Structure 1
Amino acid sequence: MDKMAVEILFENDDFIIVNKPYDMYINSDNENEKNTVTCHIASHDSHLSTSTSPLYFVHRLDYSTSGILCIAKNKTAAGRAGKLFEKRLTSKYYLAIVRGHILNFELADIHYAVGMDPSPQSAHKMTTVTSSASLSNEPRAAHTRLLVLETGTYCGDPVTVVLLKPITGRRHQLRVHCSAIGHTILGDYTYTNKVDSTPHRMFLHATRLILPFEQDALDIQSPEPFFSDPELSGKWKPGKKCYKYSTPADFTAVCDVIDRSYTVGVKCKEFCFKQ
């Protein structure tokens, strides 16, 4: 995918669903900022209610995160979708490559609460509550499921491809949960204290979104983005593959695995902190 292209995956009278590139803003109040989703698919001011053709963002993706973004074309559609997100009825699935080999479990439930990082130098960062010493400002319960898909190396360093399913929707939840279990997302400059700066991108991609409307439910997938990127392919060496995930059918199958509460033969682990 062209880094600057915003691919439309689905469109009807109520919604436009796009494949957002990495390192792109969703919108901006700065009229000179052109690196936004809104500038590519509509007018610069389309995120404002004063626009002649306003768009409504029912969920968001970080600047560094690529993948599926659902945008409503009218208030009624935005309200319908918003209720699904509020009630946690949507299903979101992300592909990520994380640092290190995950060998001691295959499926994990991460239950660390997420809140604002209280450090004065950490504006806009989030943190997890993993001990009484790490209590953050106004932490909120958070839950992520993680399934190991494949191990390998990136530039000779051990990495693991994982499927992530956020059960809750906290700011930076997937990034801080991966960091909290000792496996930061490859290329996550922010949550490695500005250390992981070599990769050309952060390897987190929103790959599938299910909106279970009573009529005309939407189930949208985007293509697997990492291994078709020549910036990665020359630096990647595969190791052990646990699941196939490159085709839409394969990806749907691994989503079915992570959706199950228990699978015979799959080694599970729970990460949680109880005061």
Structure 2
Amino acid sequence: MAVDKIFENEDYIIVNKPYDMYINSDNENEKNTVTCHIASHDSHLSSSTNPLYFVQRLDYSTSGILCIAKNKTAAARAGKLFEKRLTRKYYLAIVRGHILGFELADIHYAVGVDPSPQSAHKMSPVISSASLSGEPRAAHTRMLVLETGSYCGDPVTVVLLKPITGRRHQLRVHCSAVGHTILGDYTYTNKVDSTPHRMFLHATRLILPFLQDPLDIQSPEPFFTDLEFSRKWKPGKKFYKYKTQEDFTAVCDVIDKNYTVGIKYEEFCFKK
């Protein structure tokens, strides 16, 4: 798959990462990486003749916007925004099941390493005192229901996700924790959800509020333009329009609001 450059200036390259692609690899024989497509295999190393600096990460299975700095100064500038949680990130996801209990939710489950020996690289939510393990860190995700429908006859829901914190696998863990795993998420369905051709999680919009020349980057909606998905999809109830850039910006404004007047709201958190 090609790696499309959405934006580039003297400091940053912002790409639309395909699903099922690594960002980089120390294995020189691994060519399925973003770095191999846009630069050289070793460009993520400081020893490279033209090093690149990844100021954020996306999972192998996740597609969408990825910001890459061209120099240390630019990396530090963007890194501070991420560290101070000043960036705004928005993801489209399709999850299993129809979400009927709420339209908007805040998910506050802490996320830690899954202690099970057979679950390497897997994370776990703290939803009860029994799940307090793996040195969990506080995590917060907002979820807005956009549309219900069916995929291969099974109920699914299109949601907008806004991570407030940036924990490993946070969105996947939080969706699973509220009973709606992401469609095609092989890992967080215990290797059950293997039929879909991809995991349906896409980083759709990234806002970097630099004091000078702030960046607001949006990628095209990736699911319904994919024939392998759209021919298996049947629409149900639509709550918000979201497929054009203008409509997606509008639903981002909805999920940004602190108040919940007129919206069916739910909060998920572990109470000791």
Q: Per the shorter chain, which TM-score range?
A: over 0.9
TM-score (norm 1): 0.98
Instruction: Pick from 22, 25, 43 the counterpart of residue 22 of structure 2.
Output: 25
Q: Does 1:72 align with 2:92?
A: no
**Count of residue pairs the alignment pairs up:** 272
Q: Does 1:167 align with 2:175?
A: no
**Structure 1 residue 9 corresponds to structure 2 residue 3:** no
> CA offsets per residue over residues 16-69 of structure 1, 9 Å max, x none?
000000000000000110000000000000000000000000000000000000
Query: Equivalent of 1:227, from 224, 248, 270?
Result: 224
Partners in 2 of 1:35 and 1:169 — Cα distance? 25
Whole-Å separation in 2 of the counterparts to 1:169 and 1:74: 23
Equivalent in the alignment of 2:214: 217
* TM, length-normalised to structure 2: 0.99
Tell me whether 1:205 sits opposite 2:202 in the alignment.
yes
Amino acid paired to 1:6: V
SS, match of residue 18 in structure 1: strand
Q: Which runs of structure 2 are paired with 1:81-96 in the superposition (5 Å)?
A: 81-96=78-93
Of 112, 119, 122, 2:119 maps to 122
Return the offset for 1:135: 1.3
Q: Is the 8 A contact 1:128 1:136 kept in 2?
A: no
Q: Residues 146-157 of structure 1 correspond to what in structure 2 (within 5 A)?
A: 146-157=143-154
Aligned to 1:182: 179
Say whether 1:260 aligns with 2:248: no
Other structure's SS at 2:136 match: strand
Q: Which runs of 5+ in 2 are unaligned?
A: none
Percent identical? 87
Match of 1:107 among 104, 120, 126: 104
Find the aligned partners of 2:28 and 2:133 in 1 and give their Cα distance: 35
Q: CA deviation at 1:265?
A: 1.1
CA contact (8 A) 1:257 1:263 kept: no
Q: Please list every run of 5 or more consecutive structure 1 residues that lacks an aligned counterpart in the other structure.
A: none
One-letter amino acid of the structure 2 residue matched with residue 84 of structure 1: L
Equivalents in 2 of 1:179, 1:263: separation in Å?
A: 23
SS at match of 1:83: helix
**Alpha-carbon offset, residue 151 of structure 1:** 0.1
- 8 Å Cα contact 1:226-1:232 kept in structure 2: yes
Residue equivalent to 2:242: 245
- What amino acid does structure 1 have at the position aligned with 2:37? H
3-state DSSP of counterpart to 2:191? coil
Structure 1 position 57 matched with structure 2 position 54: yes
SS at match of 1:249: helix
Q: Which amino acid aligns with 1:256?
A: D
Residue 261 of structure 1, CA deviation? 0.6
Q: Which residue type is aligned with residue 185 of structure 1? A: I
